[in-house]
Amino acid sequence: MKPGPARRFPLPLDRLRGTPKVAAPAPAGARHGPAPAGNGLDSADVRRRMVERLRASGVVQDRVLAAFAAVPRHHFVDPALATQSYEDTSLPIGYGQTISKPSVVARMLELLCEGANARRDGHLGAVLEIGTGCGYQAALLAEMGRRVVSVERLKALHDKARDLLAPTRSHRLRLVFGDGMLGHPPGAPYDSVIAAAVGAEVPAAWLDQLAVGGRLVSPVADGRGGQVLVIVDRNESGYARTEREAVKFVALKSGLQK
């Protein structure tokens, strides 16, 4: 699929300052002027219903739910698939890549929120995202972090995300065309690292760039043909690794594709 033209949407990338004290996420329209009229995909009610399904599935972090309420997912998928954009399903975005299921993204973001630095500071701090894709998760991260560096190895997808995010992209969000397996050393150390592709193991570069008190969340091959979410926490004495539930992501690859 070819990247489409940039589309405008109300994405409050410079809104968050610390932990929001809200009982439930408000619709984006309530924070940025009147809500769009009608009951179509631009209606805040559509995102609110998705957020309530995430809450019912066990997502409890207000920061995560508020980000999902603010960012319109349908702007990041092909128009032909837009009617499916608020279902809990992954969707193709071209070039052999996908936009992950909302429930999986929410789960990974919630795990990031439980890192030591994130709990202390009330936000995700400096964030490294491996695999920008269409830019949806980068937009969510920019709602939750102090600064975000998102790296994409496929030039076509990097350009697509840049176009989609350009109208409202915050100075806190930087998109980098680069080899994600190398991370992005100029922005290190990172309080939060999140990957949208699965490898045989967590690359050493990501661990090196993780701040003390930081947390990394990434899918990793389990050696039996499956994948699991892996959490790595860095402390003063080294790294602590734990494994969580099974997931399914596209393969992590090295090198640039122009």
Residues with a known catalytic role:
100
Rounded Cα distance between 193 and 131, Å, is 11
Interacting residues of 123 by C-beta distance below 8 A, sequence separation 6+? 16, 18, 19, 63, 144, 145, 146
Q: What are phi and psi of 219, to 5 degrees?
A: -75, 145
8 A C-beta contact, residue 180 and residue 255: no
8 A C-beta contact, residue 189 and residue 214: yes
Rounded Cα distance between 223 and 138, Å, is 29
Displacement of CA 250 from its chain's centroid (Å) = 15
Rounded Cα distance between 162 and 183, Å, is 19
Structure tokens at 111: 């795990």
Neighbours of 175 (CB within 10 A): 21
Reduced to 3 states (helix: H, G, I; strand: E, B; else coil), residue 50 is helix
Task: Pick the closest to residue 216 from 247, 246, 240 (CA basis).
Answer: 240
CA distances from 36 to 5, 26, 43, 68, 99 (A): 21, 14, 5, 17, 25
Rounded Cα distance between 220 and 218, Å, is 6
